[in-house]
Each structure stands twice: as structure tokens, then as C-alpha cells.
Structure 1
Amino acid sequence: MDEVCGDWGSKLVALGTDGASVMTGAKNGVVSKLKGDRSYIIGIHCMAHRLELSFSDAMRSNIMFQRVELLLGGLYTFYHTSPLNRANLMNSFQALGHMRLVPTRIGGTRWVGHLLRALDHFLRGYQGLVLHLEQIQSSDAQNVRGVQQAKARKFYSTVKEAAIVRFCGFLHDTLTHLSNLSTCLQKSVITIADAHSALCSTQAVLEKYKTRQGPMMKVTTADSYEGISLTRIGDNKALINSQREVIDRLVESMTHRFQDASVGILQATKLVSFTNWPEPGDEVADFGETELETLVEHFKPILDSSGIHSESIPDQWTALKTLMYQDPNSQLKMSWMSVNRRYQHSFPDLLALFDLVMSLPPSTAECERGFNTMKQVKTDWRSNLNSDTLSDLLMVQLCSPEISKFDPTKAVTLWHNDCIRSRRPDFMDCEKAPRVEHEESD
């Protein structure tokens, strides 16, 4: 860090961590060590991690979820460890003319994402899966051991249960929204305020699932699914109660895990999200006064040490609001980048505070991407890369724009001009001189 920025310690305002005690410990945690006597430094538990933990808490004691988890895990092992079973399953999909969707692992680095993919493969590949399990357990199946047939019979009876299929449909709908929220929380440009808004909207959708069915749940409520008759249809009261229990516990767990985002300094960061700004009216005059006071009071030491006049920020906030609300559509058209370009010289102290607030990290996804990219760059064949080269390669991988948006003109010009020896980019395009053959003289 000292090589990148010598005075990084004096500029530190927040850091994102996972929930490990070595990071968040009150006495000897990394956050406490870095904070020292600087009380304004904020330690933020990664919101993407918290979402995964919320889902784990909600499903911990649910019997139906345990059955589904056991089924999906068993199917993955059944096909992953047997090339013959896997090949025969592929043949079943091919015979039906369906996409080959092999059961996938339910665990991994992203519990929500991996489980959603496993459920998606199970529900979309249901016909091919049932067809293969039906074939493998038959008495005339060839090259199949008795143990494999016994497992197939167990899986076959389980996957045809109406309660299992319907609960899988319910989980698919629920996890779709949780996965979208997780993806949103992992964006590099998201702010704390935007993350909290996305969290609240997801909770509202999940609450509705207690009284209405989601898209996949509607498909799985019939007596048959994908043309296959289900067994043990019975009464749905137990299933409905289980679903409501899941929703209640999930919303409660999310509220508990993210409670710090709705109070105190993190709640005050909603000022930087235009979606939280009120419509033009009487509320505009007092909007944000309390939150701004909280932010200024919390970050006053570092603002003063950076030469920012914190006492001028409230007046600049009032003036900026007035200018922003003169055009009713300005909030929809503007971003903070355009606001900075337009009003940087008029409200420098206020915009400096907002820049600080928008730098607060809601998740540690960027760090995870950095480690993942480093594994791809520094392989066994390139293990001797020095620090500067590795840093440059990681910078290119992590901070460069997408290929579709990248303009290579500057890079090509730099490559062509900044060199010791002259470049010859048109070398291969040059016409070769005609070859003259001389006759040997006698």
C-alpha cells in the first residue's frame, strides 16, 4: 500500500470485509487496528456475504428445503461420479430433442447462485431426468449394477412427488430475486444507498409470495409437470405453510443482517441516490438536512484535515437543491459525474463530501475479482512475473472498459511512438520486390 499511496492511512475512510472475527473483532480485528483513534473510519460487512448468510439462516431448519437439498446433491453425485450415467442422461435429452442440462453442484462460492442453477437445471431438464431414471431402474437395463438401480428407484420416487416439484418451483422464484439482488450488490459502481434500495424492493417482492404465486410456482402447481404425472398430490396446506415460513424467516433474517444500513451513518448516505430524492413540493426545503448533518459530523475530522470547509456544506446543499429542482427532469437526466462537471467550482465542499460517501464499499466483490483475475494471469507458466508487470496486467483486466466500448487508438499510438526502435506496423502489407533470377554465365 505504501508503494501505491504513501499517505493511504490518513485518507482511509472505510473498508469492506467479510464477517470473519479476524476482520471484525472489536479488540484485535483488522478494522479496529486500522481505526485506532480515528473514529470516523467505517468497517462495512460485505452485503453480498450478508445476503448469503441470510438465506442460510432462513433455510437452516426447514424440512422441505433439506429434502430438496439432499435430492439435488444426490443427483449431482449420481451423474458426476459415473460417466455411464452421464452419457445415458445425455442420450435421453437427445432423444427428447431437449437441451442437455446435467445436474450441477448446489454448493460453492455463491450459495444462492449455485443453488439457483441447480434448481433451474432440475426443472428445465425434468423430462430427460425422469426418462433416464425410469430406464435405468428397469429390469432389462444393461450394464447397470444393483446399487445404481436402487439409487435410481429412490431418486425416481422422490422427483415425482408433487410437494418436491412445487417447493422447487417456489425456491426457483425466490432465488431468482435473491440472485438478482446479489448481482446488484456485486456491481463495482453501486453505492450504499442503491444497495439498500435494492434490498428493500427485494423484500417487498418476497413478502408478496406469501399471498400469490411466482412464475415458476404457477407452472408446478398442477397435478402434472412437463407432461409427467406427479405422485402424492394430497393437500397443499403443509406446503403453503412451509413456504410462508421460509418467506417470514428470510425477510426477518435479511432485516437483522442489514439493520445497520437503515440507521446511522449508512442510512444517511441515501442523499447520493437520486431515487431517494422526493418529488418537487413542500418536502424539498427540509429534505436531507438531518442526513447531511450526520455525514458532516461523522467525517468532520478528515474533511477539515483535507482543507474542506465543513461549515459551508449546509448552505451549499440548499443552493444545489434549489438549482436541481428548477428543472423537474434534471434528476432523471443527471448523474453525479455531470453534477460534478457543472457545479464543481460552485459547491466544491459539498461535492467533495459526496465523493467521499460514494466511495464507501458496499461489498468486497472487487477484491474477490482481483484474486480471481490474479489466478488467471499468474499461472504456473507465468509464475515469475514481477510485481510491476503483474500490477499492470491486473489493472488492464480489472479497470479497462468492455471490448465493445474500447477505443484502441490511444494504445496503438502509444505503442507506435513510445519505443526505442521504430515500429513497422505496415511491414506485412508492403509489396515484395520482384525477384530477379540471373542466368549463370558460361
Structure 2
Amino acid sequence: MKCCHFMLDITQLLSKVSFAAQLSSSTVADVMSASIASVIATLSKYQDKKTTPKLKDLGEANTFKGETLTGSGNIENTIMNVTQGLLSSLHGRFSDMTSGLLHALRISSFKFWPASKDEMQNFGNEELRVLVQHFKPTLQTANVILDEVEMEWDMLKSNIRAFRRTPLMVLLNGDLINLKEEFALSTPQLVTGFSITRCKIL
């Protein structure tokens, strides 16, 4: 029974990675950093503590839903073997998660973009070189001018930074309103306002 509870925790943990990878909105960087890195950290914690949340809930009970539990009850070796096997597999399959191509792909997700101007200046330069080198044949086939890639990258960062500074303005009854300051994005008033606007347009 303890093995069942342990494997349920493991299955739920791994299913989160699978779910994140299937989301159309997820980038490689999102899956690598937010999901796989989190799973590795959690598996390491299971390994160190030799227990999981559901095992803690089960405790040392001798019965489960009226059924008597048998066996030694000590599954520490199982926990160590399973977690070590999974960690070895994840590290082996995603060895370049903290460097190399997979790490370079993090610039494709705005979650990893810095907020300050100083950090933005050099952000992604090294990652861009890694990506260009890896996809060089494909880029050349598509007639991309490789000498201009770095310049266009700097222009992209500049434009995105400018866009971030631009407030979301709307003309309402003759008054220019900054929606970011007036409403939180999830307020009922804002939802109603956009619904009314949509109806008028239609």
C-alpha cells in the first residue's frame, strides 16, 4: 500500500510536466525551467527525506479502508531507487538545460526577460549566438542575413521595452483613461466594459 501511495505522488509529479509540454502556449523554456527544473527539485527532496506527501498522510497505519496492510512497511530502498532512476534519466535527457541549446531557448519566453534597462542591454546576446550557430544551415536556406541578426535582436529588445512602457489607453466618454491604473485586469467592471464595447462593434 505504501508503494501505491508513493507511486501516486510520482505519477502526479510527472503528469505536471506532461501537461505543461502539451499546452500550446508553452515554450521550450517554460517547460524546461518551470516544469522539469521543478520536478528535479521535488524528486531530490523526496530522495533526501525518503518520503512523499501521501506517504506522510498514510503514516504507520496498519489498515486502509478496513483492509489490513501486510509487509515490512519499509520502502526507503524503493524510494531511493525510483527517484535516483528518474533523476538520472532527466539529467541525461536534459543535460543542456542550464547551458547549450535548451538553455539558449529561454529567450523565447518573456518570463525570462529582465525588467531593467541595464540588464536588457546584454540580455540574450550569448543565447542568440548559440541559436544562430545551431540553426545556421536552416537560416541560410531561408536567406536570412546572418550578419544582421544581432542588430535586429537589439532592435527587437528596444521595441519590446518601449511597448512595455506604453500605457494601455482608451478613450471613454471623451476622457483618456489608463486602463492599467484604473482597473485590475480581472475586475468585473473591465469584463463588462469590454463586453459592451464588443456588442456595440458587432
Residue 204 (structure 1) shift: 1.4
1:228 to 67, 71, 92: 67
SS at match of 1:209: helix
Question: Using a 3 Å threshold, how does the CA distance of structure 1 residues 318 and 207 change in structure 2: closer, same or farther?
Answer: same
Structure 2 match to 1:268: 104
Question: Using a 3 Å threshold, how does the CA distance of structure 1 residues 329 and 273 change in structure 2: closer, same or farther?
Answer: farther
Is residue 2:3 matched to residue 1:167?
A: yes
SS at match of 1:307: coil
CA distance in structure 1 between the partners assigned to 2:163 and 2:146 by the alignment: 27
SS at match of 1:278: coil
Is residue 2:124 matched to residue 1:288?
A: yes
The alignment yields a C-alpha RMSD, in angstroms, of 3.0
Question: Using a 3 Å threshold, how does the CA distance of structure 1 residues 260 and 326 change in structure 2: closer, same or farther?
Answer: same
Is residue 2:62 matched to residue 1:216?
A: no
SS at match of 1:308: coil
Looking at CA atoms only, which structure, 1 or 2, has the larger radius of gyration? 1
**Deviations, residues 84-125 of structure 1 (Å, cap 9, x unaligned):** xxxxxxxxxxxxxxxxxxxxxxxxxxxxxxxxxxxxxxxxxx
Question: Using a 3 Å threshold, how does the CA distance of structure 1 residues 321 and 170 change in structure 2: closer, same or farther?
Answer: same
1:205 to 38, 42, 50: 42
Contact 1:271 1:288 in 2 (8 A): yes
Residue 261 (structure 1) shift: 4.9
Is residue 2:20 matched to residue 1:184?
A: yes
Contact 2:29 2:105 in 1 (8 A): yes
Contact 2:28 2:105 in 1 (8 A): yes
Structure with a larger share of its residues in helix: 2
Where do 5+ consecutive residues of structure 1 fail to align? 1-164, 334-442
Residue 177 (structure 1) shift: 1.1
One-letter identity of the residue aligned with 1:196: M
**Deviations, residues 175-228 of structure 1 (Å, cap 9, x unaligned):** 111122123334455433233222112111222223274442233223132243
Question: Using a 3 Å threshold, how does the CA distance of structure 1 residues 265 and 257 change in structure 2: closer, same or farther?
Answer: closer
CA distance in structure 2 between the partners assigned to 1:278 and 1:206 by the alignment: 29
Contact 2:104 2:131 in 1 (8 A): yes
Contact 1:280 1:328 in 2 (8 A): no
1:251 to 87, 96, 115: 87
Contact 1:192 1:269 in 2 (8 A): yes
One-letter identity of the residue aligned with 1:231: T
CA distance in structure 1 between the partners assigned to 2:38 and 2:165 by the alignment: 23
Question: Using a 3 Å threshold, how does the CA distance of structure 1 residues 243 and 310 change in structure 2: closer, same or farther?
Answer: same
CA distance in structure 2 between the partners assigned to 1:192 and 1:290 by the alignment: 18
TM-score, structure 1 as length reference: 0.33
Where do 5+ consecutive residues of structure 2 fail to align? 169-202
Identity of aligned residues (%): 32
TM-score, structure 2 as length reference: 0.66
Question: Using a 3 Å threshold, how does the CA distance of structure 1 residues 226 and 325 change in structure 2: closer, same or farther?
Answer: farther
One-letter identity of the residue aligned with 1:298: H
Q: Trace 1:326-337 onto structure 2 (pairs within 5 A).
A: 326=162
One-letter identity of the residue aligned with 1:253: S
